[in-house]
Amino acid sequence: MSAAVVNVDEPEKMEPTLQSILDQRSLRWIFVGGKGGVGKTTTSCSLAIQLAKVRRSVLLLSTDPAHNLSDAFSQKFGKEARLVEGFDNLYAMEIDPNGSMQDLLAGQTGDGDAGMGGVGVMQDLAYAIPGIDEAMSFAEVLKQVNSLSYETIVFDTAPTGHTLRFLQFPTVLEKALAKVSQLSGQYGSLLNGILGGSGTLPNGQTLSDVMEKLDSLRVTISEVNAQFKDERLTTFVCVCIPEFLSLYETERMIQELANYGIDTHCIVVNQLLFPKPGSDCEQCTARRRMQKKYLDQIEELYDEEFNVVKMPLLVEEVRGKERLEKFSEMLIKPFVPPE
């Protein structure tokens, strides 16, 4: 029976590289996510470097509050896209979801009353609906990025929970906003009647103004949502290390991504140990055994539907252009352990 199974499985086994992502020219959004400390940033930088070789322009975007892009490239990045030194078509930017919310709020009143009476209804709203602030800022960033003409955008996302929440926001917010718009349609005139003839709210905004803003936000979000759920445009690269918790999180993430309808077909297994054959390092061999156990499980579970890429743990930190480039080669050409 096992022979038959092997025969059936063999042709289905997917390439152990990320070549499929490079080849898929229609891809516009690539998310890189996983538990904290598994090498998301290294992987996303490497992937971006490889993509830059075959695409017109690539933007590397970090939504992780603990920004690591600057670290990885040893170059300071900010809220605006900046060219990465040594490349002519690879850009990077770091956004702080919470910070950009403040900017958004400050920007939309504009009359200089921000210091006095707060920043108005949008702010009240932002703190009234849980998660809406992040969703709004996320939508705002996506709007900006969408209007820029990058061919591919690589997201270096925050650790797992965060990422999934981000991806979930469009759906949640769309529902909430649809309800709000509907309510305002029904009771808007009534509210305006209460608020007085001019329909102004205490801080000088009109209700219809706020509603309009919310509605345009909703439209943006649903557009983005539709793009994320399109497997031709979006894919998610899961990064993990061969340890139980990381594996557990990865499985959970894959299931949730499936629930949201977001395509994922790549897993990068990082930090694999390959001790030299004659090595007498007790810890290394013990750890190698443990990694092997989980690696076998990963292969058994994911090999048929995922590109499982195995990356070795290097003896040096992967920082700076040269090292990243060298590391990134291994995403495309499978690493061969020393025999």
Partner 1 sequence: MSLLLVIFLLELVVQLVNTIGAKTINNLLWRFYLSIPGSPLAKDFAEQRAKQKEYLQVRHDLNATSSQDEFAKWARLQRKHDKLMDELEKKKSQLDAHRTSFSRKLTIYRWILTRGMQWFLCFWFSSQPMFWLPYGWFPYWVEWLVSFPNAPMGSVSIVVWQSACSGVLALVIEAVMAVVRYTGGTGMQKQRQPVPAAGGAPGTSKKDL
Q: Which residues of this chain interact with partner 1, rule CB under 8 A?
A: 244, 247-248, 251, 255, 293-294, 297-298, 300-301
**Residue 20 in tokens:** 């499929």
Q: Least distance to partner 1 from the beta carbon of 264, Å?
A: 14
Q: Least distance to partner 1 from the beta carbon of 324, Å?
A: 31
Query: Could you give the CA distance from residue 193 to residue 293 in angstroms, rounded to a whole number?
Result: 69
- The reply, when asked if residue 243 is annotated as ligand binding, is yes
179-182 CB contacts, 8 Å cutoff, 24+ apart: 180/211, 180/214, 181/211, 181/214, 181/215, 181/218
- The reply, when asked if residue 107 is annotated as ligand binding, is no
- The reply, when asked if residue 284 is annotated as ligand binding, is yes
- Whether 64 is catalytic is yes
Sequence letter at residue 113: D
- The reply, when asked if residue 281 is annotated as ligand binding, is yes
**Residue 26 in tokens:** 């229609």
**Residue 192 in tokens:** 């305006």
User: Residue 169 in contact with residue 134, Cβ under 8 Å?
Assistant: yes
Q: Where are the alpha helices (DSSP H) in the chain?
A: 2-9, 19-23, 40-54, 69-73, 97-109, 114-117, 121-128, 132-147, 160-195, 207-228, 244-260, 282-302, 321-332
Q: Least distance to partner 1 from the beta carbon of 247, Å?
A: 6
Residue 81: count other Cβ atoms within 10 Å of its Cβ. 19
- The reply, when asked if residue 37 is annotated as ligand binding, is yes
Q: Least distance to partner 1 from the beta carbon of 60, Å?
A: 31
When the beta carbons of 257 and 318 are compared against partner 1, the nearer one is: 257
User: Residue 156 in contact with residue 241, Cβ under 8 Å?
Assistant: no
Active-site entry in 23, 64, 96, 303: 64
| HSE toward the beta carbon, residue 181, CA cutoff 13 A | 14
When the beta carbons of 104 and 298 are compared against partner 1, the nearer one is: 298
When the beta carbons of 189 and 259 are compared against partner 1, the nearer one is: 259
Query: Could you give the CA distance from residue 76 to residue 67 in angstroms, rounded to a whole number?
Result: 10
When the beta carbons of 198 and 255 are compared against partner 1, the nearer one is: 255
- The reply, when asked if residue 240 is annotated as ligand binding, is no
- The reply, when asked if residue 53 is annotated as ligand binding, is no
Q: Least distance to partner 1 from the beta carbon of 236, Å?
A: 18
When the beta carbons of 247 and 318 are compared against partner 1, the nearer one is: 247
Distances (CA, A) of 158 to 64, 143, 155, 172, 296: 4, 19, 9, 19, 27
Query: Could you give the CA distance from residue 140 to residue 119 in angstroms, rounded to a whole number?
Result: 17
Q: Which residues are annotated as a binding site for Zn(2+)?
A: 281, 284
Q: Which residues are annotated as a binding site for ADP?
A: 35, 37, 39-42, 243, 270, 312, 314, 318
Q: Which residues are annotated as a binding site for ATP?
A: 35-42, 243, 270
Show which residues are catalytic.
64
